[in-house]
Amino acid sequence: MSTVDSARKERSGPSMGERIGMIAQDRGAQLLVLVVALVVIMMTLSAAGVTISRVNSDYLASALISFVPLALLAIAQLFVITSGKGGIDLSVGSMVSLSGMAFGISLVEWGWSVSAAAGFAVVVGILLGTINGFLTAYLGYPALITTLATYYAYRSIALVVTDQKPISGPEIQGFYQSVASIELPVIGGMLPLFPLGLFTFFLPVAVIAWLVLNRTAYGRKLYAIGTNDTAAQWAGVDTRRTRMTAFMISGLLSGLVGVYTVAQFASARPDSGTAGAGMALPAITIAVLGGVAITGGIGRLGSVALAALLITWLNASILMLVPGNGGAQVQLLALGVVLLGASLLDGWMQNRRKRGVVKPPTLTAAIALEGTENRDDEPRRRTSKEGR
């Protein structure tokens, strides 16, 4: 087969087997399959009477109230981890607690409006994230050590400012309606009730974050410094400011989650983001499960959202199988097993790519074909000109 024929074959597009291989490599497709499989398995077990209560669309939809904070904090980790140089934020849980307390104090004790108190909580979150970013990006402290230290500091402040007591009141209890389950307009009668927080918190943040990552200069800079910090610096990218901004975004999203948790629990709790296993480790796990490379430079928001959905429904399913405190412990076990499985799958696919079993399409063949066709056409163009 000639070089031109080979190039034309490559340019015609990947074969069916190659397409299947590419889908198998895609983290989003893998997660979607797992989500569907989980739903089918739980529906089957429910029909067989194995679960404590019935698992149906209403139950799965109501479980999404826990999806919102996990997804938002996983998006925060997406920004920080993608920035590279060991970027990670262990303090998101304590930032949630502290910004939530700021929201409760300003709303109940200071008598601020809901919008002003929510804005104050977000500003507090941004300031906390700025401290993390400055220590990491400008002073050069490792993100792991920095955010672990600020985790303890922010957590302590959240407990001290209210003497370890939650803040509640009619203002906060009325705010619960902002995350309560609602019936969708027009088609709501055919669907289960969905938490309002999906539309007031998650979707706006997800759309804006996707635009920032994929359609702005900052997003390109973020992926650049995560891929190769030195090369990005030589290209004129302010790596320190870009990395610090990622931590500020993490603080902003933590502030939003702080507001959300106050509405979710109908009180401002000083341990809302740190109780039990906390929110930081599940958020990091979801980000990595969603395909965010811990080394930086790689990560897609859609896959992270699917990973958050998988973990949310997995946790809800476990509670239907293992009641009480044992269910919470099994949730942690399942989280570790899922993360380990994702890591093993990554390693397996990388080995297949190295052996050439699954080979993603490249632009090399198309470029080669264009060059070959141009060279083949050149004698014909010269002949045509001479004939004229």
pLDDT digits (tens, 9 = 90+) for 205-214: 999 999 999 9
Residues 332 and 371 in one domain: no
Q: What is the residue type of 321?
A: L
Whether the predicted pLDDT of 290 surpasses 50: yes
Candidate from 2-6, 20-24, 37-41, 156-160 with smallest mean pLDDT: 2-6
Whether residues 381 and 331 fall in one domain: no
Asked if 292 and 372 sit in the same domain, the reply is no
Percent of the chain with pLDDT over 70: 81
| CA–CA separation, 74 and 301 (whole Å) | 9
Q: What is the mean pLDDT of residues 72-82?
A: 96
pLDDT band at 364 (very low <50, low <70, confident <90, very high): very low
Whether 369 shows a pLDDT value over 80: the answer reads no
Same domain, 180 and 312: yes
Range of the domain at 371: 3-8+363-387
pLDDT, residue 125, reads 97
The answer to whether residues 267 and 373 belong to one domain is: no
Mean pLDDT estimate for the chain: 84
Q: Which long-range contacts (CB under 8 A, 24 or more apart) does 176-183 make?
A: 176/263, 176/264, 176/266, 178/263, 179/65, 179/68, 179/260, 179/263, 179/264, 181/61, 181/62, 181/65
Q: Please tell me the total number of residues recorded for the chain in this structure.
A: 388
Residue 6, pLDDT > 60, answer no
Tally of domains in the chain = 2
- pLDDT of 376 reads 42
Instruction: Give me the pLDDT at residue 316, please.
Output: 93
Q: Note whether residue 186 is domain-resident.
A: yes
Q: Are residues 238 and 383 in the same domain?
A: no
Residue 239 resides in a domain: yes
CATH of the domain at 349: 1.10.3470
Structural domain includes residue 16: no
- Residue 243 confidence (pLDDT): 97
Tell me, yes or no, whether 49 lies in a domain.
no
Residue 150 pLDDT exceeds 90: yes
Reported as a pLDDT band with limits 50, 70 and 90, residue 361 is: very low
The CA dihedral of 199, 204, 210, 215, to the nearest 10 degrees, is 140
Q: Residue 161 domain-assigned?
A: yes
pLDDT digits (tens, 9 = 90+) for 301-313: 999 999 999 999 9
Q: Rounded to whole angstroms, what are the CA distances from 34 to 106, 174, 342, 358?
A: 43, 37, 11, 21
Token couple for 153: 């500091």
Query: Where is pLDDT greater, at 185 or 136?
Result: 136
| Pair 348, 369 in one domain | no
> Are 181 and 61 contacting, i.e. CB atoms less than 8 angstroms apart?
yes
Examine residue 33 and state whether it is found in any structural domain, yes or no.
no
Under the banding of pLDDT at 50, 70 and 90, the label for residue 235 is very high
Place of tokens 């958050």: 308
Please report how the helices 16-25 and 27-47 are oriented relative to each other, as an axis angle in degrees rounded to 10: 80
Report yes or no on 68 lying in a domain: yes
Question: Which pLDDT band holds residue 72 (cuts at 50, 70, 90)?
Answer: very high
Within this chain, do residues 273 and 375 fall inside the same structural domain, yes or no?
Answer: no
- Three-point CA angle 46, 49, 50, nearest 5°: 80
Query: 63: closest CA among 303, 334, 319?
Result: 319
Alpha-carbon span 247 to 137, nearest angstrom? 9
Q: Has residue 19 been placed in a domain? A: no
CB 248 within 8 A of CB 79: no
Global pTM? 0.85
